Amino acid sequence: MTHSDNGFFNSFGGKYVAEVLRGPLDELEIAFKEAMADPSFIKELETIQRDYIGRETPLLFAETATNLLGGAQIYIKLEGLANTGAHKINNAIGQCLLAKRMGKKRIIAETGAGQHGVAAAAACAKLGLDCTVYMGEVDVRRQQPNVAAMELYGAKVHAVTSGSRTLKDAVNEAMRDWAANPDTTHYVLGSALGPAPFPDMVREFQSVIGREVEKQVKERGLDVAAMIACVGGGSNSIGFFSPFIDKKEPVLIGVEAGGIGDGVGENAARMTGNAGREGIMHGYKSRFLLDDDGQALPTRSISAGLDYCGIGPQLAALGCSGRIKFTSARDDEALNAVKFFAKNEGVLFAMESAHAGAEAIRLAPTLPKDKAIIINMSGRGDKDVFITSPVFRKTEWLSFLHSEIERLEANEDIHTAQIMGK
Partner 1 sequence: MKDNKIKLMSHLVAGYPTDELAFTAARALVDGGASILEVQLPFSDPSADGPAIQGACTEVLKRGYKTEDGLIFIAKLHKEFPEVSIYLMSYGSLVYTPGVENFCKKAAAAGVTGMIIPDLPFDFDEGLTAACQKNGMNNIPVAAPSMSPVRLKKMATAGFPYIYAALRTGITGTETSVDKATIDFLKATGEGGSKLYGGFGISNGNQAKALADSVEAIVAGSVFVRIITENKDNSEDLYKAVRAKAEELTNKNN
- Minimum CB distance to partner 1, residue 283 (Å): 7
Decide if 135 contacts 224 (C-beta within 8 A).
Answer: no
168 binds partner 1 (CB under 8 A): yes
Q: State in angstroms the smallest separation of the CB of 305 from partner 1.
A: 19
Answer yes or no: 88 catalytic.
yes
Binding segment for partner 1 (CB under 8 A), chosen from 88-96, 212-220, 276-284, 390-398, is 276-284
Q: Which run of H or of E encompasses 199?
A: helix 198-220
Binding mask 76-115 for partner 1 (x = CB under 8 A): ----------------------------------------
Residues 175-194 contacting partner 1, CB under 8 A: 175-176, 179-182
Residues 294-353 within binding reach of partner 1 (CB under 8 A)? 294-296
Pick 232 or 279: Cβ nearer partner 1 = 279
Of the residues 19, 219, 246, 409, which one makes contact with partner 1 according to CB under 8 A: 19
Per CB under 8 A, 18 contacts partner 1: yes
Stretch that binds partner 1, among 22-30, 40-48, 211-219, 382-390 (CB under 8 A): 22-30
Interaction of residue 293 with partner 1, rule CB under 8 A:
yes
- Residue 282 binds partner 1 (CB under 8 A): yes
Q: Classify 106 as helix, strand or coil.
A: strand
Q: How far apart are alpha carbons 323 and 331 in whole angstroms?
A: 26
Q: Which region among 100-108, 139-147, 174-182, 380-388 touches partner 1 (by CB under 8 A)?
A: 174-182
Say if residue 179 is exposed, middle or buried (CB neighbours under 10 Å; 0-12, 13-18, 19+).
middle
Comparison of 184 and 416: residue with beta carbon closer to partner 1: 184
Q: For residues 297 and 290, is the Cβ–Cβ distance under 8 A?
A: yes
Of residues 88, 104, 168, 383, which has the active-site annotation? Answer: 88
Helix (H) or strand (E) holding 48: helix 39-48
Given the residues 29, 56, 79, 110, the one annotated as active site: 110
Beta-sheet strand order (sheet of 73-78): 59-61, 73-78, 372-377, 224-230, 251-259, 324-330
Active site residue 63: no
What DSSP line would sit under 256-282, residue for residue? EEEET-SSTTS-B-TTTSSSEEEEEET
In the complex, the smallest distance separating the C-beta of residue 13 from partner 1, rounded to whole angstroms, is 10
- Specify the pairing of strand 251-259 against strand 324-330: parallel
Q: Rounded CA gap, 275 and 91, in Å?
A: 30
- Residues binding partner 1: number (CB under 8 A): 38
Q: Which stretch binds partner 1 (CB under 8 A): 34-42, 112-120, 126-134, 162-170?
A: 162-170
**Would residue 378 show up in a list of annotated catalytic residues for this protein?**
yes
Binding partner 1 (rule: CB under 8 A), the pick from 26, 63, 223, 413 is 26
With CB under 8 A as the contact rule, which of the stretches 36-44, 98-106, 291-299, 401-409 interacts with partner 1?
291-299
User: What CA–CA distance (Å, rounded) separates 234 from 252?
Assistant: 13
Residue 22 near partner 1 by CB under 8 A: yes
Q: Kindly give, in sequence order, each residue whose CB lies less than 8 Å from that of residue 343, ignoring residues fewer than 6 positions away.
A: none
Choices 77-85, 157-165, 338-346, 365-373 (CB under 8 A): range interacting with partner 1? 157-165
Q: Tell me the closest approach of the beta carbon of residue 179 to partner 1, in angstroms.
A: 5
Do the Cβ atoms of 143 and 113 come closer than 8 Å?
A: yes
Query: Whole-number minimum distance, CB 292 to partner 1, in Å?
Result: 7
- CA 375 – CA 194 distance, rounded (Å): 26
Instruction: Give backbone dihedrals phi and psi of 97, rounded to 5 degrees, phi first.
Output: -60, -40
CB of residue 356 to partner 1, shortest distance in Å:
28
CA–CA separation, 43 and 56 (whole Å): 15
Pairing of strands 251-259, 224-230: parallel
Instruction: Report the alpha-carbon distance of residue 55 to residue 78 in Å, rounded.
Output: 10
Give the residues lining the site for partner 1 (CB under 8 A): 14-20, 22-24, 26, 162-164, 168-169, 171-172, 175-176, 179-182, 277, 279-283, 285, 288, 290, 292-296
Q: Catalytic residues, which ones?
A: 88, 110, 378
